[in-house]
Amino acid sequence: MSSASAKRVFAPGERIFTEGDVPDVAYLIETGRIEVWATQGSKRLTLSYLGAGEILGEMAVIDRAPRSASADAITEVSVTEIRADQLRERLDEADPVLRGLLIGLLSRYRRGLRAARVGVLDEPESDDLAVVDQKRRVADKIRLERELLEALDGDQLRVVFQPIFDLHESRIAGFEALVRWDHPVRGPVSPSEFIALAEETSLIVPVGHYALMRSCALLAELDQRLNSDFRPWVAVNISARQSLVPDFADLLASTARDSGLDPVRLKAEITESLALDYERVQALIARCRWHGIGVSLDDFGTGHSGLGHLHRLEFDTIKLDQSFVRPLPGDLKAAALVRGIVTMLHGMGAEMVAEGVETIEQARALKGQGVRYLQGWLIGKPQDPAILDPLHVNPLLLELQSAQPGHGRRGARA
């Protein structure tokens, strides 16, 4: 992507920026040493020396003001540019990165005032451990954001499918699409790390769009490989920022059709936090339903008032968080809670997908409470769709075939 943060190298003595310049970027110092200085009459006044892991030039970017000082490379310096929009996004949201920037800003401001009083600073004061740790986390986060932008351009991301089992039909009904990042140096990056980072910024929009396009393309390729009547669906996760994209439901449908898929084989999974915006989500559900796209509430029971979501929003499917599944079958209270939720969902024409199913005993208990769909390692781990065989089912699951007819007045599907 053209907006990716750039790396730059400055030679010893080279000017990085000049007092009075109009700024468009700040800098994360990767290696080397920098002098920050200002003029006082005809004199050159050193304000601070900065090194690896520190951030330079952010004040003018945040304030949208000319540079108040100049900066020169003392040694060869390698930096990562931090775009103005990256800083301002964090300013708007007041996230930990911004707090780290402000800590560093205030620390250097105090050193600069002392320098003006007593003369040139030979060395900056040592930060306390909390500030050092905050700076390290800020630097790591900014590097990871730049690398994620590069990953989108460099084919480092991939989509895997985790199967979802239908107890009524005794077969795989569909998949959840999950994004994985294979970093060329770090190795696999945890989704909890990079998805959380993407959701803090606008990066979740291109990451989510990539996941949508690849999921549809991979499902179409799976159809061709299997060459059968088997027509599973695929569920893609939708973030709050993605839902703000104009005509987003239409985009979902057109992406499916561009891959040769009927939109009915696509499902949008939204989180409880997004579901708090009732009017927007209800409009999204209505438009998705117009296209035949199902909408699921993800991680039910872990966030805000779940019952309020069920009352006001017409989801096709509810995904029960694994924290409710883990105590089964031994916890009678957990079993009663699951049974009550399932009964309520059936009364509203919806179905449940139980997540995190790892044992046949859990699967049997969930079946006994009326749950229709199971997802977890017992059914299958997330896999590359190119080698996935959805027609092969764990033999233990075949013993759980349900004789119950499907529930739901709206023809719910997972």
Average pLDDT over residues 223-239: 91
CATH code, 312: 3.20.20.450
> Are 145 and 171 members of one domain?
no
> Are 320 and 305 members of one domain?
yes
Q: What is the pLDDT of residue 212?
A: 97
Q: What is the pLDDT of residue 112?
A: 56
Give the integer Cα–Cα distance in Å for 390 and 379. Answer: 10
- Evaluate whether residue 204 is within a structural domain: yes
> Are 170 and 305 members of one domain?
yes
pLDDT for residue 117 is more than 60: no
pLDDT for residue 130 is more than 60: no
Q: Which residue has the higher pLDDT, 89 or 36?
A: 36
Domain-ending residue, one of 125, 149, 173: 149
Give the integer Cα–Cα distance in Å for 19 and 11. Answer: 19
> Are 290 and 141 members of one domain?
no
Average pLDDT over residues 149-154: 88
Residue 409 — very low, low, confident or very high, per pLDDT cuts 50/70/90?
Answer: very low
- Evaluate whether residue 320 is within a structural domain: yes
Give the integer Cα–Cα distance in Å for 255 and 213. Answer: 6
> Are 176 and 96 members of one domain?
no
- pLDDT tens digits along 353-371: 999 999 999 999 999 999 9
Average pLDDT over residues 387-398: 87
Q: Are 7 and 30 in contact (CB under 8 A)?
A: yes
Domain-ending residue, one of 100, 129, 149: 149
Q: What is the pLDDT of residue 181?
A: 96
- pLDDT tens digits along 184-211: 998 999 998 899 888 877 889 999 999 9
pTM summary value: 0.73
- pLDDT tens digits along 313-356: 889 999 998 999 999 999 999 999 999 999 999 998 999 999 99
Q: What is the pLDDT of residue 7?
A: 86
Beta-bridged to residue 307, according to DSSP, are none
> Are 243 and 368 members of one domain?
yes
- Evaluate whether residue 409 is within a structural domain: no
> Are 249 and 201 members of one domain?
yes
Per residue, what are the HEC states of 111-143? HHHHHHHHCCCCCCCCCCHHHHHHHHHHHHHHH
Domain-ending residue, one of 127, 149, 171: 149
Q: What is the pLDDT of residue 2?
A: 43
> Are 205 and 340 members of one domain?
yes
Tokens representing 42 are 């005809």
- Evaluate whether residue 319 is within a structural domain: yes
pLDDT for residue 127 is more than 70: no
Please give the C-alpha separations between residue 5 and each of 273, 278, 328, in angstroms, as whole numbers: 30, 36, 47
C-alpha triplet 1, 90, 18: angle, nearest 5°? 75
Per residue, what are the HEC states of the chain? CCCCCCEEEECCCCEEECCCCCCCEEEEEEECCEEEEEEECCEEEEEEEECCCCEECHHHHHHCCCCCCEEEECCCEEEEEEEHHHHHHHHHHCCHHHHHHHHHHHHHHHHHHHHHHHCCCCCCCCCCHHHHHHHHHHHHHHHHHHHHHHHHHCCCEEEEEEEEEECCCCEEEEEEEEEEEEECCCEEECHHHHHHHHHHCCCHHHHHHHHHHHHHHHHHHHHHHHCCCCCCEEEEEECHHHHCCCCHHHHHHHHHHHCCCCHHHEEEEECHHHHCCHHHHHHHHHHHHHHCCEEEEEEECCCCCHHHHHHHCCCCEEEECHHHHCCCCCCHHHHHHHHHHHHHHHHCCCEEEECCCCCHHHHHHHHHCCCCEEECCCCCCCECCCCCCCCCCCHHHHCCCCCCCCCCCCCCCC
- pLDDT tens digits along 287-308: 999 999 999 998 887 655 456 6
- Evaluate whether residue 14 is within a structural domain: yes
pLDDT for residue 33 is more than 80: yes
> Are 142 and 74 members of one domain?
yes
- Evaluate whether residue 404 is within a structural domain: no
Least confident window among 23-27, 62-66, 323-327: 62-66
Please state whether the peptide bond connecting residue 12 to the residue before it is cis, i.e. omega within 30 degrees of 0: no
Please give the C-alpha separations between residue 325 and each of 3, 320, 375, in angstroms, as whole numbers: 43, 8, 11
- Evaluate whether residue 403 is within a structural domain: no
- Evaluate whether residue 214 is within a structural domain: yes
- pLDDT tens digits along 263-286: 999 999 998 777 677 788 889 999
pLDDT for residue 148 is more than 60: yes
- Total domains in the chain come to 2
Least confident window among 50-54, 92-96, 289-293: 92-96
Q: What are φ and ψ of residue 72, in 5° steps?
A: -125, 145
> Are 143 and 171 members of one domain?
no
Domain residues for the domain of 251 are: 155-398
> Are 201 and 289 members of one domain?
yes
CATH code, 136: 2.60.120.10
Give the integer Cα–Cα distance in Å for 266 and 394. Answer: 25
Please give the C-alpha separations between residue 233 and each of 15, 230, 259, 284, 292, in angstroms, as whole numbers: 56, 10, 13, 19, 12
> Are 115 and 180 members of one domain?
no
Question: Side by side, which strands form the sheet with 25-31?
Answer: 7-10, 77-83, 25-31, 55-56
